[in-house]
Structure formats: C-alpha cells, structure tokens
Amino acid sequence: MTIFNRLPVGAAKPLLVVLVLMGLSATPARAAKAIQEVTTSTGITAWLVEDYSLPIVSIRFAFRGGSTQDPSGKEGIVNLMTSLLDEGAGELDSEAFQERLDDAGAATRFWAGSDAVYGSMRVLADQKDDAFDLLRRAIEQPRFDQEPLDRIRGQIGSGIRSQAKDPETAAEVAWSKAIYGDHPYSRPYEGTEQTLAAVTTSDLRTLHKRLFARGNLSIAVAGAINADTLKRDLDRIFGGLPAEPSLVPIPEAEPKLGQEILTPFYLAQTRLSLTYPGLSHKDAHFFAAYLMNNILGGSVSTSRLWNAVREKRGLAYDIHSILDNRDYASTLVIGTGTRPDRAAEVLSLIRGEVRRMTDEGVSEKELEAAKKEAIGSYAIASLNSLSAITHTLLEIQMEDLGIDYIERRKQLIQAVTVDDVRSAARRLLSTDPAVLILGAPLEERRG
C-alpha cells in the first residue's frame, strides 16, 4: 500500500459492548457481547467475544517484531519466512499440509507488517480441532523446505521486478529513504532480489526461533467457543513456543520533514503527498488530532480539502489525509493527484487549508459532525463481522489501549473541544512538511 493510497487503524472483568455481528448473513444481527480476557495455564492471554449466531470460530494473532527485525544484508527475510509458514510443517510437506487444510475447511493467512508478524484462521466450530492442530504445526514447526523456499522466493522476486517499473513504487522508496534515513522503516519490507538470494533455510529457522514466542504474542478470538475450551486450545496451539522472543531493539524514528522529494516521471497525473508530524494512540491529545484530521481531510466527502480541491474546483478525483501510526513513528499524511499543469495550484490550496486550520481551528458545528461520524463509523467498520471484531480487538491490544477502550473511546471523543482541536492543529501542522512530488518538477508544469 503506497503513501498515496493509505486509508483513514490478571484477568479483567468482562466489558459489555455492542458489537455488530454480520457473520456470513446479509442482515446484521446486533447483540450485547462481552469481551473476556482469557489466561491459560501457560500464561497465554487472549481476548474473546463469544457468539453462537453462526457455528464459526475466528482467531487473529500477532507476534511483535516484523520487517524491522530483518538483519542487514538479508532484508525481506521476515516477509519470506511468513510466506512459508503454511508451506509444510511438522511431518507434513507443503502438498500434504495444504491438503489437510482443505480437508479442515480452514481459511488461513499469514503476513508480515513492519512491526509484527500476523496470522489468522476462520473455521467451522466442529472442525476447529483439526484446523488448530495444523495452525500449531505452522507456528511451532515450520519446515522451510528448499522447494517451497525457492518457489516463494521466486514469486516475491518476480513481484519486486514488476514493481521496479511502477512510478508509485519508486516514489514510495524515495519517500521512505528521505524521511527515515537509516532507520529500518526506510527499507522495503519485501527486500531486494539480492538480499532474498542470500537467505538460507538455516537463516529462516534462526529467525523463527527469535520471533515466535509467548512473550510477544497477542491474540483475539470471536465466535462459537467458550472461555474454558479456548484456554485448552490456546495452550495446544501456542503453548510449545519459547517464553520470550529475542528481538533486536529498534530506536524511535525521527522523520526528516521540511524537504521536497521529487520522483521525476512524466505521467498523465502528478501525485502529491505532504507529510507532517503525527502522534500515537496513547497520546492524551490523540482524539483532538483525530477529529482535526477528519475535518481537514480524513472524512473524504465532507472534509475541507475535499471541498476546496475537488468540490469547488474539480482539480482532483480524490484527496485525503490520514494519521499513520507505527510502533516507532507517527505521521499525518495528505495525499492527492491532479493534472500536471494544476499541481502547483493544488499544492498551494492544500497549504492554504492547513494554514486555515492552524489559524482558525474548527467550528462547533464541524466538530459535532466529526464526532458523530467518528463514533458511528467505528461500530460499522470495526465490529460488523467476526473477522472485523478480531481485527479490532487485536489492534487495541497491540496499541496497549486497555480492554475497556471501546467504551472509553466514545467518552474521549465527546470530551474534545474546539480549543483542543486548534491546539492539536498547531502542534502537528505548524511544522514545514516533507513534500513528495511524483511527476515533473512543478516549475515545469506551470508553463
């Protein structure tokens, strides 16, 4: 996903929340559900939402330590390792493992992010035992056989060669290097053909032992399963892993703003991206910044940027802003594309709206509308299926926001004032941004 296309991210007592559970049906069924914190005999903790409206169990989990853990010279190894987890495990080679997955009727996925390795499984409740056994093998005993290693490495390499011809990929690479310098965030998560060629089976096994442990594991489960059964299943799936990972410490990133990054392709459309400072979800002023961003450009069809650039002047098909939060850096990014001869004008309009936000803030009417949308859209987008619920609960755990976050979120949003929004705008938008231009220099477009 490129910077131009990112979208606006001890046992506790159960917390009652309203979760919209669509499952596989076309009509959503609303029911009050409890988020339970479940802790097993081996100390594994998960959040569970029981729901028996469909005979399905959905599990999603993450091991902290993603592509930032790639060793120098072997960039892309975390992504490669993750792609091989379902290509044979234990006594089952790749073909046998895939056949058993098909027999179990389990939808399984593994993928790597910059800060964590993720996995998920969705299975019928009466087939979960066989499916969870396969999940255990993939997590605990991946084989990394040479044939699937060569095949998957070749597929990733083919994608790298294809992306090398893509202007937006070139812009993403230039942006990452310019913004993050030598920080691991500057490296492409898939690596290069050269770094992938250097990876051996021994490297993959060593990396797996470093990353996969109970101590950096977060889990969310939703569906037709109770807490006692889940405890046994979690111990069966994850209990054989080491207690603690061996992660390389990653420093906080300091994005280098106040620069222009030009990727000089002559294209039918010039793409623009402006990067400002952001702030983490745990910052006391996060929701003031969140609502400010929604009014500026996060709410696509009603935002100020949309109104100024598209609605009034028809200069862009899409314009948006997002708060992009990672473990070691947070940014606010504005992105759009326009006709090459109007790019300088669009950039000026964006800067004008940013100045208006810092100088004038927002009105009570704008803020109330933004609050209403932020509260309503969260329930619809984040809690409308079993898979969405596990995604939401896992992200809350990864951000360490607390099991009562869904309830507190509404209260935190409602408490934001127009003065809070103005303060957040001045904090984030007063800095001179990094400006990425994908296209010819703007001076050449003005003529």
Q: Where are the domains of the chain?
A: 15-238, 260-446
9 pLDDT above the threshold of 90: no
Question: Which residue's structure tokens are 């993603």?
Answer: 66
Q: Say how far apart CA 387 and CA 368 lie, in whole Å.
A: 30
Q: Say how far apart CA 130 and CA 331 lie, in whole Å.
A: 43
Among the CATH numbers 2.20.25.160, 3.30.830.10, 3.90.1150.10, 2.170.270.10, which is that of 15-238? 3.30.830.10
pLDDT of residue 444: 57
324 pLDDT above the threshold of 60: yes
pLDDT of residue 304: 97
- List Cα–Cα distances, 328 to 114, 117, 275, 278, 392, in angstroms: 10, 16, 16, 11, 20
**What rounded mean pLDDT belongs to the chain?**
90
- Amino acid in position 340: P
Q: Say how far apart CA 11 and CA 155 lie, in whole Å.
A: 44
Q: Say how far apart CA 282 and CA 396 lie, in whole Å.
A: 11
Give the model confidence (pLDDT) of 119-153 as tens digits.
999 999 999 999 999 999 999 999 999 999 999 99
Q: Give mean pLDDT, residues 63-91.
A: 97
SS3 198: coil
pLDDT of residue 23: 35
Is residue 17 within 8 A of residue 408, CB to CB? The reply is no
Q: Give mean pLDDT, residues 231-249.
A: 97
14 pLDDT above the threshold of 80: no
Fold classified for 260-446: Cytochrome Bc1 Complex; Chain A, domain 1 (3.30.830)
Question: Quick check: do 15-238 and 260-446 share a fold?
Answer: yes
* pTM, to two decimals: 0.89
* 233 sits in which H/E element: helix 227-238
Dihedral sign, CA of 398, 402, 404, 405? negative
Is residue 386 within 8 A of residue 46, CB to CB? The reply is no
- List Cα–Cα distances, 356 to 48, 257, 295, 362, 363, in angstroms: 45, 20, 12, 9, 12
